[in-house]
Chains A and B, each alone.
Chain A
Amino acid sequence: MKREGDRFEQFLRERREPLLRFLLRMRVHEHDAQDVVQESLARLLRYRDSEPEDAWQALLYRIAINLLRDRARHARTDESKMMQDPPIAMVSEAVSPEASPEQQASDRQTLARLKDAILQLPPRCRQAYLLNRIEGMTYPEIARHNGTSLKAVEKHISRALRLLRGQLGEYGLASATPHENAY
């Protein structure tokens, strides 16, 4: 487990600079960007044990994008309330301690729909997706297991995600965004 920890810390160190460049590219002011980097990496910590290493990069992008959205939303609310606080003061986001019963019910419903959608995927696609997401196998492991190429595995995963998105439409776990306490 120590080794895993080292890898995670190494990942955090390595991705700090690239993440900052990404945020600047996303038209975030440099000094806000530093905050978002800090916050994104801190949030990624929560997934250190639950998410496989290969998923960290994509997850980090997702977290950063959501943080940008939240900041933009808060900034708009502030303007409408004529508040004086600069946007930078809004970074610290309270993580809601417990999801409300309504949120929990809606999450259960979303998960049930997601489950049905996964079971309805075309066979090869479903197989690859289940092995990746439910069984936690990496692309190379799936490729070896199926006797196919890495590229073929990626194609199945890509298609699975496309179909799942199409099936589910606008959705999300009520308690997952923007508070990230789905697990």
Chain B
Amino acid sequence: MKMPTDRTDDLAAAWFARLLSPDCSEREREKFEQWCAASDRHADAFAAVAQCHEDAGALRSDELMRAAVRAARNTARPHVRPGHWARFAAAAVLVLAVVGGTFWFVHGQQVPSLRFATAVGEQRRVDLADGTRVQLDTDTSLTVHYSDKARELVLGNGRIQVDVAQDAGRPFSVLSGRGRVRDIGTEFQVERYGENVTITLLTGLVSVELVEPALRGETGSVLTPGQQIHLGAQGGLGAVMPVDLALLSDWTSGTLTFKDRRLGDLLEEMNRYSPMKIRVADPALSRLQVSGVFRAGDQSSLLQALQAGWSMRSTRVSPDEVILSPAR
């Protein structure tokens, strides 16, 4: 039931936000009232925004919302937090883009390769020369090879989200493990941990195939938005699975949202962002279903939430390892 908002809805939202401000003057209220009285449509749009805001108040005791607030409280001044997503650090990224000594052959042409890497707990965005944007997650290594005829990215490890710039003359693809993703004007994610590769499509269309010539063609799959495919060290491509697009891009802003996920999965994901690893004492604990929203790398907030919300006890066994156990 998505509805494009028009100018009136936008103004209604702006007026509502203004009225909430303690510095809203009597004169401004006066102007708002004039706007409201000018048309029924204005008054209705305002009432609808107000209703939406009031309804949101009913979520105050919701567990997932409480967790999201805890994350939000820790997100103060994101632009000055060191190690945070380098949104404004385009120039700095250029410095890190080392022109490698190695060369790569794309369509028989020798091209220089650019390498990008992030440390554990670090994320950054890279703007490539053609306008393609790549977001690198924690502990990721990526090599970029651009020639006159083709654009090729190689993901060595970690996770990227790619927003591909259109260039009909130069096809775009990402190689990872045994898989190759061919892009047809899109935004997608590729994840590689060891030999396990996952490809997820956000918008547009991509085809995925195995690199081995013997298997190519017969095992190719096409993904549509909201679909994901896995491939491992052996065998063909996995089945195409649906995913929750809403939560998928969270990591690109440094936030991780978990909705009814196994604690084991949640810890694995959070541990990728921090040198301090959290583990469970008892495998039964990792099957616990949990929900929450956390800052990537903020292990102490996670521990606090687990202690308070799920009554667990944490024991620091070494400088970089914490063990969780059920509280006595």
Contacts and interface: CB of A to CB of B under 8 A. Distances in A.
Nearest to B249: A120
B47 interface: yes
Given A66-B47, A114-B59, A161-B17, A22 B76 contact: no
A180 B33 CA distance: 23
A61 interface: yes
B2 A167 contact: yes
Interface string A120-150: 1011101101111111101110000111001
Given A58-B16, A162-B5, 5 more contacts: A65-B44, A126-B68, A133-B53, A154-B21, A173-B55
B22 A182 contact: no
Contacts of B198: none
Nearest to A153: B21
**3 smallest beta-carbon distances between A and B, as pairs:** A62-B50, A158-B17, A169-B3
Contacts of B36: 22, 26, 61, 65
A130 B21 CA distance: 16
B246 A157 contact: no
Contact of A162 (B10, B21, B247): B10
B290 interface: no
Interface in B52-72: 52-60, 62, 64-66, 68-69, 72
B9 A168 contact: no
A154 B253 CA distance: 21
B32, B37, B51: most-surrounded residue (chain A CB, <10 A): B51
Chain A, interface size category, equals: 35 or more
Contacts of B22: 54, 138-140, 150
Nearest to B45: A165
Contact of A168 (B10, B44, B52, B57): B52
A61 B46 contact: yes
A50 B43 contact: no
A120 B253 CA distance: 11
Interface in A21-54: 21-22, 25-27, 50-51, 54
Given A115-B65, A154-B17, A145 B76 contact: yes
B55 A165 contact: no
B54 A161 contact: no
B13 interface: yes
B43, B44, B78, B257: most-surrounded residue (chain A CB, <10 A): B43
A4 B6 CA distance: 38
A48 B326 CA distance: 41
A171 B1 contact: yes
A49 B56 CA distance: 16
Nearest to A130: B72
B58 A111 contact: yes
Contacts of B14: 158, 162
Interface residues of B, number: 61
Nearest to A133: B56
Contacts of A97: none
A161 B49 contact: yes
Contact of A182 (B16, B34, B58, B257): B58
A117 to B, nearest CB: 9
Contacts of A100: none
Interface string B227-241: 000000000000000
Contacts of B287: none
B56 A118 contact: yes
B20 A139 contact: yes
B78 A124 contact: yes
B288 interface: no
Contact of B3 (A59, A115, A170): A170
Interface string A54-70: 11011101100110110
Contacts of A158: 13-14, 16-18
B9 A165 contact: yes
A115 to B, nearest CB: 6
A134 B59 contact: yes
Contacts of B10: 162
Contacts of A103: none
A64 B222 CA distance: 54
A162 B13 contact: yes
Contact of B257 (A21, A119, A134, A136): A119
Given A119-B293, A135-B73, A171-B1, A58 B19 contact: yes
